[in-house]
Structure 1
C-alpha cells in the first residue's frame, strides 16, 4: 500500500494521529534547536526564534491530538 492510498482511505482518527505525530516531531526539533542556542560559542549571536514557546505549543497540541486519536485508532 502506497502513502497516497493510505492517506486516501485513512480514517479521521488516523489523520489526526498523523498531525499529532507531526507536532511532536516539531517539538523535538525545537527542543534540539533551543539546546544548540543555549550552547553557542559567541554570546552576541543569540538568534530571534522563540524555540521554547514553539516547543511548548507544539508539544501540547501534539499530545492533545494523539489523545483524541487514540480511541479511534485502537478501535480500528
Structure 2
C-alpha cells in the first residue's frame, strides 16, 4: 500500500490538499455567516472570514485542476 502511494503521491497530494482546502472553506463560510448574524453589533471580531473563504476556494480550485492534470 505504501509503495503504491509513494508511486502515485503526486496525484494524491493535490487531491488531499484540495479536499482539505474545501473543508476549510466550508468552515470559513460558516464562521462568516455566524459573524454576520451576531446579536451584539459592537463585537465585530478581527478575522477576515470572507477573504479567507475566497482564498480557500481558490486554492481548492487550483489543487483540483492540478490533481486532474496529474492523474
Match of 1:31 in 2: 29
Where does structure 2 lack aligned partners over 5 or more consecutive residues?
A: none
Where does structure 1 lack aligned partners over 5 or more consecutive residues?
A: none
TM-score (norm 2): 0.84
Cα deviation, residue 43, structure 1: 0.6
SS where residue 47 of structure 2 aligns? coil
2:28 aligned with 1:12, yes or no? no
Distance 1:45 1:11 in 2: 45
TM-score (norm 1): 0.79
Give every structure 1 segment of 4 or more consecutive aligned residues whose post-TM-superposition deviation is greater than 6 Å.
none
Distance 1:39 1:15 in 2: 36
Distance 1:48 1:37 in 2: 11
RMSD of aligned Cα (Å) = 1.7
Cα deviation, residue 19, structure 1: 0.6
Distance 2:69 2:9 in 1: 12
